[in-house]
Amino acid sequence: MSVFDSLQPQQDRRDNLPERTMADVLALPEDLHTIMDYLIEQGESELAEVAAHIGQDETSTRALLSDLIEKGFVQEILAGTKHCYRVRLVSRRRIRLPLDL
């Protein structure tokens, strides 16, 4: 089993996540909404930065971020050697329009 095989379930899970837009952000509970606003403005942030912004400890913040990841709003990325969080949003949901339009 190659390393790519082991990553496949994660990739499949990501592919199955719903596309999220700003309208979905508006419907989030206050604490999650606040994190999303911060991440959109910052581009990407580390756990400690998010925790400082919302005024909670890192354990609680990690739980909130995990919730956002699970719901498809946030992704964890490696920026250099730092683990960062970044939003995963599309401008709008894809719609079916004829390709020749």
Tell me which of 11, 21, 60, 66 binds other proteins, using CB under 8 A.
21
The yes or no reply on residue 25 touching other proteins (CB under 8 A) is yes
Interface mask toward other proteins for 29-68; x: CB under 8 A: --------x--xx-x-------------------------
* Smaller CB separation from other proteins, 40 or 48: 40
Query: Cα–Cα distance between 8 and 98 in angstroms, integer?
Result: 32
- The residue type at 79: A
Sheet holding 82-87, edge to edge: 44-45, 82-87, 74-79
Residue linked to tokens 């309208």? 23
Query: Cα–Cα distance between 99 and 49 in angstroms, integer?
Result: 43
Q: Which residues bind other proteins (CB under 8 A)?
A: 19, 21-23, 25-26, 37, 40-41, 43, 86-97, 101
